[in-house]
Amino acid sequence: MDVFPGRIPAGNIERAVKVVERWRSTGPESDQQIHERAWMQFLHGNYAEAIKLYRHLTERIDAGKVVEPWVRFDTYTNLGRSYDMLNQRAQPLACYQRVETLLVGTRWESAKAYILQDYEPVPFHFARGH
């Protein structure tokens, strides 16, 4: 999870894409792989594709099939960010509220303010430098 995606160097993103693709080719696709693919789409500005992948994960999360807490809350955080980047404000607000719920009882609960920044009152936005 990167709270400040605009600070990620473009070279790091390109290296990560290669790693994720190698990981994906080694066997069945996992929730973590889908999460990372969605994140790469997000970082490249492909918000509609990121939303598609994140929505797939939210269905699995809501069905109780995703057990890793950080994948659960980070998926909803990034889904909200993706919608914010497309100026679709109602959807991200619902996502950020879901993040708050998913953080309860996890070791990340005390980091809620850091994870969500000020995304509820102020739409998430970042300028891609790559």
Just give the CATH number of 5-116: 1.25.40.10
Residue 130: the pLDDT is 43
The pTM of this model reads 0.86
Residue 128: the pLDDT is 60
Is 120 exposed, middle or buried (CB count within 10 Å of its CB: 0-12, 13-18, 19+)?
Answer: middle
Q: Where are the domains of the chain?
A: 5-116
Residue 119: the pLDDT is 92
What's the rounded Cα separation, in Å, for the pair 4 and 50? 17
pLDDT tens string 28-46: 888 988 998 999 899 899 9
With beta carbons less than 8 A apart as the criterion, state whether 54 and 38 touch: yes
Residue 1: the pLDDT is 47
Residue 87: the pLDDT is 94
Please list the ranges in the chain whose pLDDT falls under 50: 1, 130
Q: Where are the alpha helices (DSSP H) in 65-118?
A: 69-85, 90-103, 112-116
